[in-house]
Structure 1
Amino acid sequence: MAKKHYIPVTADVPGAANERNCALIRKVIRTALAAEGVEFPCEVDVLLTNDQSIHQINLDMRQVDRPTDVLSFPEFDLHPGQLPAAEDADPGTGLVPLGDMVISMEHVAAQAKEYGHSNRRELAYLVVHSVLHLLGYDHLDEGEMKARMRAREEAILAELGLER
């Protein structure tokens, strides 16, 4: 039997890492990795937090003095379509550590309301967005890179039945 991805989900806000959120996050990560051709077992660590904590992490790690919806900390410097190799796996676990994501549950609720969809869809969107960052996608320009990332996000969300 093939080894599966390891996706620990923790929270520093009460109730955020409930069974429903954790199941959704794990399903979305697995779906996104499969859609991007990741066929080897990986580790992705997820922290669910609030605006105050993500603000501090953003300041400490990126020197950006504001809260945000999601932060991604990739283990590898990849480009879209490029994957780490199976030999990048941790010898002790056999897992390729893709990186960490931090999600503000306050932003999830606010953005879901702003965009007129469910918290579930917003959480899934932010998870897909973060996985793509871990795999080298970016959206800093308003051109081709951003369009490619948005297209992949929408395709993965459609596969999950969570399109707009």
Structure 2
Amino acid sequence: MAKRHYIPITADVPGAASQGNCALIRKVIRTALAAQGVTAACEVDVLLTGDAGIHEINRDMRNVDRPTDVLSFPEFEFHPGEVPGEEDADPGTGLVPLGDMVISMERVAAQAKEYGHSKRRELCYLVVHSVLHLLGYDHLDEGPMKREMRAREEAILEELGISREA
């Protein structure tokens, strides 16, 4: 039997943790992990919040005094393409604690409108983006690292059947 990932999802804004959103987020995380070659059972904690909530977390954790769309807090410092193994698992749970992701559902709606696609597509994109951050990808420059991350995002979204128009 395949090991399953543990993906607890909480929300501090009404309606964000709907059954549909939670199922979609879990599917996207599992697909992204599989696409990256992760075979160890992992834990990814997800918080769905609003602009005020993510602004507070961004300020407290990163000293950035503004809201953003998604925050990722990796447990490990992986390099792009590196994946966790069983040796990274918590002995108590048997799961690799990859880290936390925080998503502003207000940003999901605003960016979906801005980019002309669905909230579903924007949510999927932000979840994939965050998983890649948890696995060591970054986009601090406009160079090869950013291009590699964008290529991985597009490949995973394509695997999920999520197009830019979706």
Q: TM-score range by the shorter chain?
A: over 0.9
Q: Provide the C-alpha distance between the structure 1 equivalents of 2:34 and 2:122, rounded to a whole number of angstroms.
A: 20
* Structure 1 residue aligned with 2:109: 109
- Over residues 39-62 of structure 1, what are the superposed CA-to-partner deviations in whole Å (9 max), with x where a residue is unaligned? 110000000000001000000000
* Structure 2 residue aligned with 1:157: 157
- Over residues 104-129 of structure 1, what are the superposed CA-to-partner deviations in whole Å (9 max), with x where a residue is unaligned? 00000000000000000000000000
Q: CA deviation at 1:5?
A: 0.2
Q: AA paired with 2:27?
A: K
Secondary structure of 2:25's match?
helix
- Unaligned regions of 5+ residues in structure 1, if any? none
Q: CA deviation at 1:3?
A: 2.3
Secondary structure of 1:44's match?
strand
Number of equivalent positions: 164
Q: Give the 4+ runs in structure 1 shifted more than 4 A.
A: none
- Unaligned regions of 5+ residues in structure 2, if any? none
Q: AA paired with 1:56?
A: E
Q: Under a length normalisation based on structure 2, what TM-score does the superposition of the two structures give?
A: 0.98
Q: CA deviation at 1:92?
A: 1.1
* Structure 1 residue aligned with 2:86: 86
Secondary structure of 2:148's match?
helix
The answer to whether the 8 Å contact 2:39/2:85 transfers is no
The answer to whether the 8 Å contact 2:25/2:127 transfers is yes
Q: CA deviation at 1:88?
A: 1.0
Secondary structure of 1:103's match?
strand
Q: Provide the C-alpha distance between the structure 2 equivalents of 1:95 and 1:103, rounded to a whole number of angstroms.
A: 23
Q: CA deviation at 1:83?
A: 1.5
Q: CA deviation at 1:12?
A: 0.3
Secondary structure of 1:90's match?
coil
1:13-32 matches, within 5 Å, as 13-32=13-32
Q: Provide the C-alpha distance between the structure 2 equivalents of 1:116 and 1:78, rounded to a whole number of angstroms.
A: 34
Identity %: 82
- Over residues 43-82 of structure 1, what are the superposed CA-to-partner deviations in whole Å (9 max), with x where a residue is unaligned? 0000000000100000000000000000000000111011
The answer to whether the 8 Å contact 2:49/2:103 transfers is yes
Secondary structure of 1:125's match?
helix
Q: Provide the C-alpha distance between the structure 1 equivalents of 2:99 and 2:91, rounded to a whole number of angstroms.
A: 16
The answer to whether the 8 Å contact 2:51/2:106 transfers is yes
